[in-house]
Structure 1
Amino acid sequence: MATIKDVAKEAGVSVATVSRVLNNTANANPETRASVQKAMQKLGYRPNANARALVSQTTNTIGVLIGDVSDPFYGSMVKAIDSIAIQHGKYLLIGNGYHNASFEREVLELLISSRCESLVVHSKALSNEELIEFAREVPSMVLINRYIPELAERCIALDNYRGSYQATEFLIKNGHRNIGYICSNHDIEDTVHRKQGYLDAMQANHLDVDENHIEYGSPTEKGGEEAMVNLLSKNLQLSAIACYNDYMAAGAMSVLDENGITIPGEISLIGFDDGIIAKYLRPKLTTIRYPIQMMTEKAVKLALKLANKEPIEDDIRVFVPTMVRRDSVIKR
């Protein structure tokens, strides 16, 4: 592989001159620039990005930590980040954390070692203390869908509790009293907040909360299927079910359909997130909208401003989910 010294020798100039051409400084005349570029092309030389970053103090990259890029939720998130990055001439370096502390830590260390200008981090497994330490090392690191009081100015979060409370209350206002809950089995704060929203809405409306009415599974279609099978096996006579997310709701729908149970005729169903799948289910899924694109755009813009040491004027940090009424809930 050709080095900068090889290019200098081929072009008949000094290494410093080649460096000036690479960094597009004004000191290289057109003839010299053309000679260096010809030598680079002949030798197949590619500049070392890390070496150039040491000189320019920038890599033009935004580091992104997400759960799993194969999940449509995170795909939408990456797409939103990339749309802003393109506008600012930036590129993305993406790592999957899989809600695993070891993976999340490795990804963050790699992104930092790669000299990313700023970081947009969706971390659910690392502790607050460890994320605070990473944030001290990278002043332009922004957390999304996570709120840490010590990093409040750099957190873009969703009020998951309020969204789940709203979903459960919507079922109650539609006359439902025996309401089940399909919950994620992931040990993350979203799980805790959404389950608590369901529990508190039931208690606030003087309805009994029975742990038998709650089933757990992975936050996927398969997890929703398994949880729904378990609920049906208990013969609880539920008239409505709130779900941790739309994918679990989709799995629950499949099981209900296989068992000849109509939605919403016999059981009403409500999801959470308003993912792409929600409006293509039959019936179309009533759900709680997670404004992921808006939140993500805000997070990456904040990260870029922090990297450029620009003043931060917008103080909106916690977003409120909203109801999306479709066809899977009816009045009792």
Structure 2
Amino acid sequence: MSTIKDVARLAKVSVATVSRVMNNSPKASAASRAVVLQAMATLGYTPNANARALVNQTCDTMGVVVGDVADPFFGALVRGVSAIAVEQNLNLLMGNGFHKARQEREAIELLIGKRCEALVVHSKALSDEELCDYALRVPGMVLINRDIPALKGRCIALNNRLGASTATRHLLELGHRQIAFISSDHVIEDATLRLQGYQDALLEAGLSSNPELIESGTPNEEGGEQAMLNLLAKGLKMTAVVAYNDAMAAGVLSVLADNGVKVPDDISVIGFDDIIYARYLQPKLSTMRYPIELMAAQAAKLALQLAAGEHESWQNRLYTPALISRHSVAAARS
């Protein structure tokens, strides 16, 4: 593989002259430009992007860290960031963290090593302190779905507690009183806040939360299936289920259908996130919309502004989920 020194040797100029030509410096004469470009073509030499960035102190790459891009939720997050990268003619590098500290750390370090000056990071396993340390290293790092007071103006999150309480309150307004809750078994803030939101709504209605009506599982279809099977095995009366996310709600719908339970006639089901397939389930899933693509685009814009040294008086932004009413929820039978 040819190097910049090979180009200089063939063109019979200095390495500095080759560098000036590659960087379109006005100090490079027309004659120098001609012989250097001819040498590059002869050798098939392509300038290394990272080396060029070191010279220019700039980078044409931004990065994003997500939980798992195979998850539709994180796919939407990446789309939001990608739209801004394309708009700004930037390349996008991505890393998966899988909600595990070591892998989140490795993904962030990899993107920093690739000189990504603008980073959008979805991290649930790393501590506030470690993320603050990374923020000191990368002024253009923005956290999404995380609210750290010490990182003022660099966090974009959702009001998960309000979202779950809104979903539960919707069921209560339809006359439901025996409402089950299926939570994520991941030890993350989202799971805690959504459970608290469910309990908030029950308390407001003068009802106590029954621990027997709360089950948890991995936050995917299989986890929803197993949690719903556990609820049915208890033989408890329930007229509605609030699921941690739409993937778990899909598992709930599958188990209920297999057991001859009609939705929403016998049991109403409401999810959270409004991922793409929620509207194609049978019945179409009522859910809480998580505007993750919008939030991701905002995070990407903010990351680029911070990387460019534009420090406005930003506050940490807390978005509000919206109720999307479809066909999986109905009034409780009298």
**Alignment TM-score > 0.5, same fold:** yes
* Aligned counterpart, 1:32: 32
Contact 1:11 1:39 in 2 (8 A): yes
Map Cα deviations across residues 87-135 of structure 1 (whole Å, 9 max, x no partner).
1121111111000001111111121222211111000000001101111
Equivalent residues in 2 for 1:173-212 (5 A)? 173-212=173-212
Equivalent residues in 2 for 1:182-331 (5 A)? 182-312=182-312, 315=315, 317-331=317-331
> Which runs of 5 or more structure 1 residues have no equivalent in the other structure?
none
Contact 1:63 1:92 in 2 (8 A): yes
Distance in 2 (CA, whole Å) between partners of 1:242 and 1:128 is: 29
Equivalent residues in 2 for 1:64-213 (5 A)? 64-213=64-213
Contact 2:283 2:328 in 1 (8 A): yes
| SS across alignment from 2:65 | strand
Distance in 2 (CA, whole Å) between partners of 1:24 and 1:301 is: 28
Distance in 2 (CA, whole Å) between partners of 1:274 and 1:312 is: 32
Higher relative contact order (CA 8 A, sep 6+): 2
Q: State the 4+ residue runs in structure 1 displaced beyond 6 angstroms.
A: none
| SS across alignment from 2:123 | coil
Structure 1: which amino acid aligns with 2:281? Answer: L
Distance in 1 (CA, whole Å) between partners of 2:227 and 2:33 is: 66
* Aligned counterpart, 2:58: 58
Distance in 2 (CA, whole Å) between partners of 1:64 and 1:34 is: 39
Distance in 2 (CA, whole Å) between partners of 1:309 and 1:81 is: 19
Map Cα deviations across residues 153-193 of structure 1 (whole Å, 9 max, x no partner).
10001000000010011111110000001111111110111
Distance in 2 (CA, whole Å) between partners of 1:74 and 1:24 is: 39
* 2:25 pairs with 1:6: no
Distance in 1 (CA, whole Å) between partners of 2:232 and 2:42 is: 70
Contact 1:289 1:322 in 2 (8 A): yes
Distance in 2 (CA, whole Å) between partners of 1:135 and 1:155 is: 11
Deviation at 1:138, TM superposition (A): 1.1
TM-score by length of 2: 0.96
Distance in 1 (CA, whole Å) between partners of 2:182 and 2:42 is: 62
Distance in 2 (CA, whole Å) between partners of 1:24 and 1:212 is: 69
Structure 2: which amino acid aligns with 1:245? Answer: N
Distance in 1 (CA, whole Å) between partners of 2:152 and 2:285 is: 34
Distance in 1 (CA, whole Å) between partners of 2:252 and 2:312 is: 44
Map Cα deviations across residues 200-250 of structure 1 (whole Å, 9 max, x no partner).
211221112111101111110111111111111111121000000000000
| SS across alignment from 2:180 | strand
Contact 1:7 1:18 in 2 (8 A): yes
TM-score by length of 1: 0.97
Deviation at 1:27, TM superposition (A): 2.0
Contact 2:53 2:59 in 1 (8 A): yes
Map Cα deviations across residues 273-309 of structure 1 (whole Å, 9 max, x no partner).
0000110011111100001111111101011111112
| SS across alignment from 1:151 | coil
Structure 1: which amino acid aligns with 2:152? Answer: A
Structure 2: which amino acid aligns with 1:300? Answer: A
Distance in 1 (CA, whole Å) between partners of 2:191 and 2:31 is: 63
Structure 2: which amino acid aligns with 1:150? Answer: A
Q: RMSD in angstroms over aligned alpha carbons? A: 1.3
Structure 2: which amino acid aligns with 1:54? Answer: L
Contact 1:2 1:44 in 2 (8 A): yes
| SS across alignment from 2:255 | helix
Count matched residues.
332
Distance in 1 (CA, whole Å) between partners of 2:67 and 2:264 is: 32
- Which stretch has the larger CA shift, 196-205 or 39-48? 39-48
Deviation at 1:31, TM superposition (A): 3.9
- Which stretch has the larger CA shift, 224-233 or 197-206? 197-206
Contact 1:20 1:27 in 2 (8 A): yes
> Which runs of 5 or more structure 2 residues have no equivalent in the other structure?
none
Structure 2: which amino acid aligns with 1:293? Answer: E
